[in-house]
Structure 1
Amino acid sequence: MHHRPAAGQGAFPLHSDPRMAEITADPSLENLRDVLEYIDQGITMFDADLRLVVCNRRFLDMMDYPAEMGKVGTPFERFMRINAARGEYGEGDAETQVRERLELARQFQPHRFERQRPDGTMLEVIGRPLPRGGFVTTYTDVTEQRAAADAIRKARDELDLRVEQRTAELRQREKDLAEQTEALSITLEHMTQGITLADSQLKLRVCNRRFLELMDFPEWMGETGTPFEAFMRHNAERGEYGAGDVEAQVAERVAMAQQMRAHRFERVRPDGTVLEITGQPLAGGGFVTTYTDVTENHRSHERLHAILDTSPFGSVIWRLSDQRIIYSNQRFAAMCGRTVDDLLDTRIVNRHRAPSDAEQLIERFRAGEPIRDVEIQFRGPFGDAFWGLTTFEHFDYQNQGCVLEWVYDFTELHQVRTTLEHLAQHDPLTGLANRRLLQEHLDRTLAGAARRNGIVAVLFIDLDGFKALNDKHGHDFGDWVLSEMAARLESALRRSDLAARIGGDEFAVILDDLKGVGDAQAMAIRLLETLSMPCIRNELTTQLGASIGIALNDSAEADAETLLRFADRAMYRAKREGKGRCLFFDAEFDGDMQP
């Protein structure tokens, strides 16, 4: 147990949540509604009885609800019933759909999902329960973000379709292989594709003549039992894989084949033939591979470059062995603020704001992890950074093992998302942390303190006399005073501390890494002094005070919710004992009834 001053010495107050009827009658709620109208999210708050406390017009517009639905007290059930009646939940009995959603809502569990409305709008819905019942929900239109992601996937889906078609054909042939051996042999010999079947030991079971012709292999290599390694060594010795140590090239490719992974790539042979190679692992081990001559579709590198140069995405090809760039389209060069010639023969990792992050991404790709639509920062013009969605594809280019990287600049979307995340965690009036961020920060702080046996204090602060000031001078002046008090709190705290606005004229402070209980009391007294200084605006001078309740993590059950409740109790006791003071929580306070 940490030593604490006796009751009557410094502490903090904060009142617990008032009854919902009192909240809705509070004049400050009208001010909150005004603030919500400037947020580009739909926002709703329902009380513990599932009746609407507040929502903004953006919510009504997003969900196509009539204005009358935004009235305080509208039952949650009514929203669900309208949705069910107009088919928002798909086909089914409307009453059953309403009942199921009401049962889920009454559980007051955090939730997050996306839903596509009948008009095609995609909404991200995030709900958080309130400590004393009810919940707050945000509705974000993510239609444009999803459309951008769909555009990136579209090109890949078209390519994957061809692979799926060939794979389905190969699986069907495998199923019929045992009973149609002779017919299959005839079929294989008349195929325009080369085809091979290797077993789980990477030994050849069957191939057709077209495969030997396309790869220019001698007849003896088509015999059953020829090891996969022999084909790789034959290729390496004649320079199919470019300059380098033959044994290292063979070992690398055998190791990749032993992973039995599906693969698809294109390779340019020394004679200029372009082959599309597609491999599919078999359920019992081994794999089937097809070799298709696509030279007519890739007659020259100029045609390939023309395709990439007309892409709306940045495209860059770099060697997997040393990460040096051997091709870039104009779009990627412009993103980096360089010319194409500037980029050639430079390392791709140096085009990233943090090269170490890029190196980790490459290692994940080497290990077989798909790299698709990964968010990472690149170096842009004039030293600025931009956010890119990057995708890696294995690509044989100029007889070298390379990576074709696609980059989509989504800096603006990233900034919008960052802004929305900030709004979700901060009070829009004062800029302080909101209750959600306060709870998360306190959970982390208590976990860290438990590991090092540290002292944490929670201060609950209620401004004395604010309601009278707000009624007398109006909400605009009241809002200014709240912002001023928030600024004073932040200026008085250490960098490691956190100040939050709970609601109305209530604030909370988390003090971490205290040397002793006296540090908490000293900070409380300091805050009392700074909050009681006169407020001067346009020759109007006013003065408020504060009552503060303090709770310490001095017991095993001192979790975040408990400490907030204890500090709240202590604040009310301080208010009863004359206001303008601070009190530490004592067990005898826990039975107090709040005013």
Structure 2
Amino acid sequence: VYGYIFYYVFAAALSTINSQLFTGRVDIYMMLLISTAVLCPMKLKQLCIIFIPNHLFLLYGLSRYVPDSFSLISKQINTTAAVAIALLISYILYTYRHKEYMSHLQLKKSERNFFTLFKINPYPLLLTRLSDHKVLLINNKAIHFYNLASQDLDQIDGFIIYPTDEDREEILKRLQQEKYVKNYILEAREYGDSKWVMINYELLEYQSESCILAGITDITDLKAVEHELSLHASTDMLTGILNRRSGMEKLQLELLRAKTIDTPFLLCFIDINSLKLVNDQYGHREGDWLIKTIAESISGYISKDDTLFRYGGDEFLLIAPEQTEEYVQELWQNINEQLEGKKKEFNKPYALSASYGFIICAPSDDTNLDTLIQKADAAMYKQKHTRVSSAFK
């Protein structure tokens, strides 16, 4: 190729020297140099090897066949300038094309590396096209995770990486703005068993197309542990009902709700009778059984909208939204009947009973939790002193 180009330029220089005997023009030579630089960009060193000897030959020929010194100098300057321009154009074009070619090679290499890493990644990965959400790549981990072994790539729904249509719109909007969405947690129910997943989305270019890379992490076990920890944090371990902290939060929310919509609720204070005597005479294990049994009996009869929580060692609070005195009376009649049955069933030498007192909370601006609990506690003690105080027979 270099030899052909050298001959091409040499022929142009020779023709230009020959034309001095007839037309005296050098513009064809100058145009040929520039067109050669444009059509055949190459390294500057190779182009200099081709252009400079031929141009020196041209300059020598012009000096022999152009008698007018002024015209000779003009032609030598113009042709030399054309050589310089051609060299500059060739250098710029070659540098640009070389960079473009190397970038293309680097892109191909990156795509091969990406494909390799995509396939061997230990986490489920999907690559979908942004325009139509067609799945372009999916690794074996994702196929196994979504139970897609029986489906071809063209049959896989690219929307499986989004929880709902609303979430998809939000995710795509954030991708357009931020190019990525990190740690999006959702519950995948459509494919096999229910699973909790955390997905990272990233907008990237693959094969000159805008695509979305979704990396999935199965956090089902982590969610189970989180749920267990949440239960431990909010549940009384002996009775299985809400503990004091969580119950007080519920009571605070109920008070706020009642103030907001001006609707009363019922607060019942419950105290187990003779727990200390049971602990002293039969041991704390028996006392724990008594607490657990009474809590279970109460929980079995209250409404699904009610909240029962352990306030203290033998004290409970019951929150009953929009309930009346008749509700409490009927509730405790059923609870007492069940407790009497359990006493006979387990042949206990002591009574299974609890005292209760309640108030109907009609909230005002100065109502607070401490005041409500004190009033319910006072009502409980009033009821306690009207019945037999001894829990033993």
Tell me the TM-score normalised to structure 1 length: 0.45
Match of 1:411 in 2: 220
Task: Check conservation: 2:175, 2:203, Cα contact below 8 A.
Answer: no
Query: Partner of 2:126: helix, strand, or coil?
Result: strand
Aligned amino acid, residue 282 of structure 2:
H
Asked if 1:545 is matched to 2:329, the reply is no
Q: Which residue of 1 aligns with 2:239?
A: 430
Question: Over residues 310-343 of structure 1, what are the superposed CA-to-partner deviations in whole Å (9 max), with x where a residue is unaligned?
Answer: 2222211112233332211111111112229545
> Match for 1:435: what amino acid?
R
CA contact 1:324–1:345 (8 Å) conserved in 2? no
* Equivalent residues of 2:119, 2:139 under 8 A apart: yes
Per-residue deviation, 1:511 = 0.1
- Please say if residues 307 and 318 of structure 2, whose CA atoms lie closer than 8 Å, have aligned partners that are also in contact: yes
Report if the CA contact (8 A) 2:195-2:220 is conserved.
yes
| Matched residue, 1:495 | 304
Q: Is the 8 A contact 1:463 1:545 kept in 2?
A: yes
Residue number among 563, 566, 587 corresponding to 2:372 in the alignment: 563
**Partner Cα distance (2:98, 2:290) in 1:** 80
| Residues 1:393 and 1:366: Cα distance change in structure 2 (over 3 Å) | closer
Give 1:35-46 correspondences, 5 Å limit: none
1:375 matched to 2:185: yes
One-letter code aligned to 1:507: F
Unaligned runs of at least 5 residues, structure 2: 1-91
Deviation (angstroms), 1:416: 0.7
Contact 1:330–1:340 (Cα < 8 Å) also in 2: no
- Residue 579 of structure 1, CA deviation: 5.6
Q: Which amino acid aligns with 1:311?
A: N
| In 2, Cα distance between equivalents of 1:430 and 1:486 | 6
Change over 3 Å in CA distance of 1:310–1:522 after alignment to 2: same
Look up the equivalent residue of 2:380 and give its one-letter code: M
Residue in 1 aligned with 2:26? none
Contact kept? 1:326, 1:345, Cα under 8 Å: no
2:276 to 467, 487, 503: 467
Is residue 322 of structure 1 aligned with residue 161 of structure 2?
no
Q: 1:390 aligns with which of 199, 205, 219?
A: 199
Partner of 2:39: none
Partner of 1:349: 159
Find the aligned partners of 2:341 and 2:385 in 1 and give their Cα distance. Answer: 22
Matched with 2:31 is none
TM-superposed CA distance for 1:459, in Å, is 0.8
Cα 1:449–1:527 change in 2 (3 A) is: farther
Secondary structure of the corresponding residue to residue 121 of structure 2: coil
Would the aligned equivalents of 2:272 and 2:315 in 1 still touch at CA under 8 Å? yes
Partners in 1 of 2:306 and 2:175 — Cα distance? 43
Matches of residues 523-542 of structure 1 in structure 2 within 5 Å?
523-531=331-339, 533-536=341-344, 539-540=347-348, 542=350
Query: 1:394·1:401 contact (CA, 8 Å) conserved in 2?
Result: yes
**Which letter does structure 2 place at the counterpart of 1:441?**
K
| Closer/same/farther in 2, CA of residues 421 and 523 from structure 1, 3 Å limit | same
1:304 shift after superposition? 2.1
User: What secondary structure is seen at the aligned counterpart in 2 of 1:371?
Assistant: strand
Q: In 2, distance between residues paired with 1:384 and 1:371?
A: 25
* Secondary structure of 1:368's aligned partner: helix
Q: Pick from 117, 127, 131: which aligns with 1:307? A: 117
Letter in 1 for 2:181: I
Deviation of 1:501 (Å): 1.5
Cα gap change, 1:467 to 1:357, in 2 (>3 Å) = farther
Secondary structure of the 1:406 match is strand
Matched residues in 2 for 1:358 and 1:296: separation? 36
Cα distance in structure 2, aligned partners of 1:474 and 1:544: 16
Could you tell me how far apart the structure 1 residues matched to 2:140 and 2:150 are? 6
Residue 404 of structure 1: how far off its partner (Å): 0.8
Deviation at 1:494, TM superposition (A): 0.7
Structure 2 counterpart SS, 1:389 = strand
- How far apart in 1 are the matches of 2:340 and 2:367? 30
| Percentage of matched positions with identical amino acids | 24
In structure 2, what is the Cα distance between the partners aligned to 1:466 and 1:374? 50
Unmatched 5+ stretches in structure 1? 1-208, 217-270, 275-292, 581-595
Q: Is the 8 A contact 1:329 1:340 kept in 2?
A: no
Q: 1:566 to 1:422 in 2, by over 3 A?
A: same
Alignment partner of 1:322: what SS?
Answer: coil
Residue 87 (structure 2) aligns with: none
2:316 to 493, 507, 522: 507
Contact 2:294–2:352 under 8 Å retained in 1? no
Which residue pairs with 1:456 in the alignment?
Answer: 265
Separation of aligned partners in 2, 1:340 and 1:307: 24
Deviation at 1:463, TM superposition (A): 0.9
Aligned to 1:160: none
SS in structure 1 opposite 2:311? strand
Q: Cα deviation per residue 1:157-178 (whole Å; 9 max; x = unaligned)?
A: xxxxxxxxxxxxxxxxxxxxxx
Structure 1 segment 172-191 matched on structure 2, within 5 A:
none
Q: What secondary structure is seen at the aligned counterpart in 1 of 2:237?
A: coil
* Higher mean C-alpha deviation, range 438-447 or range 569-578: 569-578
Q: State the alpha-carbon separation in 2 of the partners of residues 577 and 367 from structure 1.
A: 72
Query: Is the Cα–Cα contact under 8 Å of residues 161 and 214 in structure 2 kept in the other structure?
Result: no
SS of equivalent to 1:511: strand
